[in-house]
Copies of this chain bind each other. A is one copy, B any other.
Amino acid sequence: MHSLLNVATDLEERNPIGVVPPINVNPYRAACVDCRVSSLCLPTGLCKHGNDRFSELIRQRIRIKKGYGLYHANDPLEYLYAVRLGSFKTCFANAEGQGLVTNFWMPGDTMGCDAISTNRHVCSAFALEDSEVCLIPYQRLESLAHEFPFLQQSLNRLLSSEIVREHKRLLMMCNLTAEERMASFLLGLSKRYVERGFSAHSFVLRMSRDDIASYLGLRLETVCRCIAHLRHLDIVQFSGRTVEILNLPGLKALEHGYSKGSAANQ
């Protein structure tokens, strides 16, 4: 039991890496200054000069079509990848082929940091919609971070915050019921959309039910049932992948299990 599908295999076969040539976008244009999500990205807070130098690093900005892979487990670490547009999922699998979705990535997020430890990617990244990423050559990033200590600190914080995020996820897996996880997931998405200037109440899920299930440590059917329940409670409206949060406080209450008769924690 508990053997989740290998979430990568099906897509990997659709995209033997290298088959889809990266599409170079605006190679001569400064990447960061006019980027909509620069305030969330790695060079945030860097001085003008540092920011310019960082922009010079980004020699390639590439487009990835929906469903295709950007990098794969065991690829040598060459770049970190900053999402500029669209969204991705990353999948981690062991030797036995059991795998899971480790994260969903939105504009401003930087993917691939887990590769630094071994100089090889341990996850595979797939576009959930037509997307655009900036390629950050890691070697040169290291050099630049040496020149600009603030950048080094940002990188350290980025790495550390991934550890904390994983801690929180572990906590969720251990302590929350399926419904609480689902509520937590939707609230997390909502928050991230707000950070990016979108509505907190209304958004479109870019990932399948199966991806959500994998991310939450559940099965697809359980996710569906949770969604059905949220609908019946009139807390969230779903139509396909379009989400409408009707009762945000109610959803937050669900996340903390206040709906059940658990020990009264204020």
Report if A157 contacts B (CB, 8 A). yes
Report if A96 contacts B (CB, 8 A). yes
Query: A168 vs B157: C-alpha distance in the bound complex, in angstroms?
Result: 21
From the candidates B160, B177, B263, name the one contacting A117 in the complex (CB within 8 A): B160
From the candidates B94, B96, B113, B174, name the one contacting A2 in the complex (CB within 8 A): B174
Question: Per-residue CB proximity of A225-263 to B under 8 Å, as 1/0?
Answer: 000000000000000000000000000000011000011
From the candidates B98, B117, B156, B168, name the one contacting A175 in the complex (CB within 8 A): B98
Query: A10 vs B121: C-alpha distance in the bound complex, in angstroms?
Result: 40
> In the complex the two chains form, is A156's CB within 8 Å of B116's CB?
yes
> Which partner residue on chain B sits nearest A97 by CB separation?
B265
- Assess A170 versus B100: contact at CB under 8 Å? Given A2-B176, A2-B177, A164-B118: yes
Report if A222 contacts B (CB, 8 A). no
> In the complex the two chains form, is A2's CB within 8 Å of B175's CB?
yes
- Report the contact-size class of chain A (Cβ under 8 Å from the partner): 35 or more
- Assess A164 versus B2: contact at CB under 8 Å? Given A97-B265, A217-B173: no
A145 proximity list for chain B (CB < 8 A)? 152
23 contacts between A and B (CB under 8 A): A1-B262, A2-B177, A3-B262, A3-B263, A4-B174, A92-B168, A92-B170, A98-B175, A100-B171, A114-B164, A115-B160, A116-B156, A116-B160, A123-B167, A142-B152, A142-B153, A146-B146, A155-B156, A156-B156, A170-B173, A173-B173, A173-B174, A174-B217
Known: A2-B176, A118-B164. 12 other contacts (CB 8 A): A4-B175, A92-B167, A102-B170, A123-B167, A142-B153, A142-B156, A146-B146, A152-B152, A156-B159, A163-B163, A166-B167, A174-B214
Please list the 9 inter-chain residue pairs (A to B) with the smallest Cβ-Cβ separation, ordered nearest first. Answer: A166-B166, A116-B160, A117-B161, A117-B160, A159-B159, A174-B217, A98-B175, A114-B163, A92-B167
